[in-house]
Structure 1
Amino acid sequence: MQITLDGIQNVTLTIDYWTSNVNESYLTVTAHYISNDYKLENYIIDTEKFSDRNSPEDIAEILKNIIHNWKIHVLAIVTDGSPKMLSAIALLEDVQHIKCFAHTLNVVIKQSMESFSEIQEIRRKCGDIIQYLKHNNNAIKVLQKMQENVSEPQLDLILEVETRWNSTYYMLQKFVDLKELITATLIASESNLDFINDNEFQIIEDVVKILKPFEEITVEMSTEEYVNISKILVIRNSLLVYLDELTFSGNSIAYYFKSEITNNMKAKMDYFDKSDIIIMASILDPRFKLLSFLTEIERGHARAKLIYECNLLVQENMEEKYITPDNPVTPSCSIWKRYDEEVKHQDSYEPTDTATFDEVQSYLGDRYLDRSNNPLNYWNEKKTKYPHLAVLAQKYLAKSSTHDALFILVTTISPTAMQWSAAKLKPTSLINNQPTPVCYQNA
């Protein structure tokens, strides 16, 4: 791993702060980069155990030591949006920070749901009903008999996890799919629980309708095999358009809930619109390079920055070529000094604007890559045609948009599916027949 990382110019780190089943706190660091044959690679390079009381200065010191020990040049670090992490990254020199898109989305949805007492009450009722159907012997027998009568598969209700909004979505979705069966079981088992009335079922259906694309995006972003940071802006824009066009049949709660999510998205995701890293990743992804989700002025700024960074690469290359001899010969006449400076200036600057402008224009006018294709394959094919842009693609597309994909994966698949996935992984990745965190991430 060290030998491989020695040859990488730009590495992105994702930092995940997590707690084990025995309530011990850890910080896991993963390095991401694009290889010279344009493959997206990543290594988990460290996991440090530490106390919740660790200050931003302590976290920054841990990260400095990791970066120093691995001798890597880190361009950016992806973390959640917690104040402690933001303060810690700010203490590092020459390292840019990227907020985790999935974490931001999680905050948007959670806070939006918590703003409505009606939705909170429905969540409480659903949780109570699930606990009853899973642990009350009489209810279990009634439910099994009803399932046999209607030839339904074994009921697999999902109880939400407080920290993950998508688990709430799955719980509510199950209630929509199994509405009649759940209601009939509660009546037949003579339960004294608070039933979900027709109006509340309508709210559940509308909430599921609102949240469905958010769940799809969460799964897509956390399981993306290619690059995903370049998707952030187009996804944000598409979700806002979806919400704007969404209509309901007379449920006022749904309209207010939709508006709350829209407002929270605009407030909390404004950061991504202003991130040069994310904009550069978007324009360097041949699937999204037209930047149709930006204004014309913003597109112009992005293209200008792309040309500017290409110019810097050309200048750096020229400066490397213009090497002063180890034993320089003193010129016999001072005119050579001026001449040498003029030649150096011309070689390293004057041709740059036209050359890089043409390269950028040619790339932007090149074929538009289908969204299902791997943009890294494109750059591997085009690295000779667009040499400077290919280098920038390696630099910007290696960044991950999410810092905790393994935990998102765990909560978006059923236990049965997770066991199946684990069985497909290398046996050496299993400890006591249980997947390790590395397993989850690879899965």
Structure 2
Amino acid sequence: MLQAAYTAAKEKVVDKLSAAKTVCLTTDCWTSAANEGYMAVTGHFVSEDFTLQSVLLGCSQLSGAHTAANLLASLIGTTDNFRLTDKVLLLVTDNAPNIKNAVSAVLRWKHFGCYAQTLNLIVQNALKHFVSIQQKVKTIVAFFKRSCKATERLLTYQQNNGAGHVKKLVQEVPTRCSEDFIVLFTVDFQQLTDEEWNICSELCSVLKPFAQVSTQLSAESYPTGSQVIVLTRGLLSVCAELLKRPFNSVTRTIIEELTTGLKDRFHNVEMSKSIGVATLLDPRFKSLAFESRVAADNAKKQLIELVAEKMGDRRLTNTGQSHETVSTSITTDPLSVWGVCDAIVKSTQPQGTPQSAAIVEVQRYMDSPVISRSEDPLAWWRENQYIFPNIAKVVREKFNIVATSVPCERIFSKTGIIINERRTRLKASKVEKLIFLNMNSTNS
């Protein structure tokens, strides 16, 4: 029954992918409770009705070391299995050099490092100035995890002080309450000083925008690639604003490190052709998201070339025969009664090139008003596909970029439920089929 259900589900996925113009892939690796390695691959594409579709291509066992050769063989096997090798627009992975080298050097696919992971690396590097306080906080949290009595007293304290929603682990405690909080229990570890409580409070405000961006770009129900440029600029702007505030010197150092990390790791993001075109195709941003005018102009030129290519294909396939019919029906006899009519028809035939026509359509799109950022860009394209028909074709091919490999992490979370401590003897081949059915029945 499992094999029959898997085969039927796989046929549906293959059929769904056959209509996809291009596919954005994400991949990541994971080790199960049974100490077995798995590699997950997800695919994301824009359907004919302009909705973002996501499918699990495979969560298969990965034997041996995670070398570039092994990762490459597994990746190629998966894409070949679904006939996608020539449809890959972009591959999103972590920043490990083994997979990056395999993709760029061998497959010649475009690669994008997981934005969420890169952002996390920036934050972790900045928090090296917070290690001593962080360790104290971890010790306190660990104490509450181990002591039921202390947790009970903390909850009672919050209730007695009018807390509307009590918390087992308090992430932010105002300085004015720190002394009362500390005398709740007596344990053998260092307490946080008033200054350290204040730094913790400040960092909650500093890191909140980073958490928001990570959450925003980790979604898979809508394309996130078009938001990379504007949200990176947003984080830099927030950091600049935070530096104007009278924060503690430790907090200011962390903000400066965050700013440096953003500039170092994302300095070239606007020059990415894939991200640039996706941003331009988003009716919420268009060229307004770019800080560099050069990058915006390059993205526009790239879009014009893509639209011109679509127009050239259309003329060859759809209008070539009609043009030939028109030209053969025109008479050259000066005494023909159709002479005047044929002369008028000939003079009114379009003389422009696909390139010039593409420039006109792209400029009309650029001149149209941007929509609210709360609106769905794909819903806008669904409604306006007949106004900008050739750009709409490009949208189906270039607007399916997801900015993180979080979809694979969600796969591993579900796989971890299947391979729990009491089911570690479950064969990998069955695990692959079970998670495939679980994810693709949800996404169908």
TM-score (norm 2): 0.78
Show structure 2 runs of 5+ residues with no match.
Answer: 1-12, 322-348, 414-434
1:401 aligns with 2:397: no
Q: How does 1:202-213 map to 2 (within 5 A)?
A: 202-213=198-209
Counterpart in the other structure of 2:382: 380
CA deviations over 1:346-400 (Å, ceiling 9, x no partner) = x999521221111001101112111001111111112122111111111111111
Partners of 2:152 and 2:78 lie apart in 1 by 55
CA deviations over 1:393-430 (Å, ceiling 9, x no partner) = 1111111111114748999xxxxxxxxxxxxxxxxxxx
Counterpart in the other structure of 1:103: 117
Secondary structure class of the residue paired with 1:45: strand
The 1:144–1:296 alpha-carbon spacing in structure 2 relative to 1, beyond 3 Å, is closer
The 1:282–1:231 alpha-carbon spacing in structure 2 relative to 1, beyond 3 Å, is same
Residue 215 of structure 1 deviates from its aligned partner by 0.8
1:140 aligns with 2:142: no
CA deviations over 1:21-59 (Å, ceiling 9, x no partner) = 444321111111000010100100101222461211111
1:44 aligns with 2:69: no
The 1:391–1:349 alpha-carbon spacing in structure 2 relative to 1, beyond 3 Å, is farther
Conserved 8 A contact 1:80-1:103: yes
1:125 aligns with 2:121: no
1:390 aligns with 2:392: yes
Conserved 8 A contact 1:406-1:437: no
Show structure 1 runs of 5+ residues with no match.
Answer: 158-173, 325-346, 412-433
Between the aligned residues of both structures, percent identity stands at: 24
Partners of 1:265 and 1:380 lie apart in 2 by 35
1:29 aligns with 2:29: no
CA deviations over 1:123-180 (Å, ceiling 9, x no partner) = 11111111112212442343244234224344321xxxxxxxxxxxxxxxx3324766
Conserved 8 A contact 1:31-1:42: yes
- Equivalent in 273, 276, 296 of residue 276 of structure 1: 273
Residue 89 of structure 1 deviates from its aligned partner by 1.2
Partners of 1:296 and 1:137 lie apart in 2 by 59
1:208 corresponds to which letter in structure 2? Answer: C
RMSD in angstroms over aligned alpha carbons? Answer: 2.9
2:217 corresponds to which letter in structure 1? Answer: M
TM-score (norm 1): 0.78
Conserved 8 A contact 1:248-1:254: no
Secondary structure class of the residue paired with 1:195: coil
The 1:52–1:323 alpha-carbon spacing in structure 2 relative to 1, beyond 3 Å, is farther
Partners of 1:348 and 1:28 lie apart in 2 by 50
Q: How does 1:24-423 map to 2 (within 5 A)?
A: 24-51=36-63, 53-72=65-84, 73-114=87-128, 116=129, 119-152=130-163, 153-157=165-169, 174-177=170-173, 184-223=180-219, 225-246=221-242, 247-321=244-318, 350-405=352-407, 407=409
Residue 248 of structure 1 deviates from its aligned partner by 3.2
Partners of 1:32 and 1:409 lie apart in 2 by 14
Structure ID, larger Rg: 2
Identify the range of structure 1 (66-75 vs 259-268) with the bigger mean alpha-carbon deviation: 66-75
Residue 263 of structure 1 deviates from its aligned partner by 0.6
Conserved 8 A contact 2:28-2:409: no
Conserved 8 A contact 1:223-1:409: no
Conserved 8 A contact 2:276-2:296: no
The 1:406–1:57 alpha-carbon spacing in structure 2 relative to 1, beyond 3 Å, is closer
- How many residues are matched? 377
1:387 corresponds to which letter in structure 2? Answer: P
Residue 297 of structure 1 deviates from its aligned partner by 2.4
The 1:405–1:210 alpha-carbon spacing in structure 2 relative to 1, beyond 3 Å, is farther
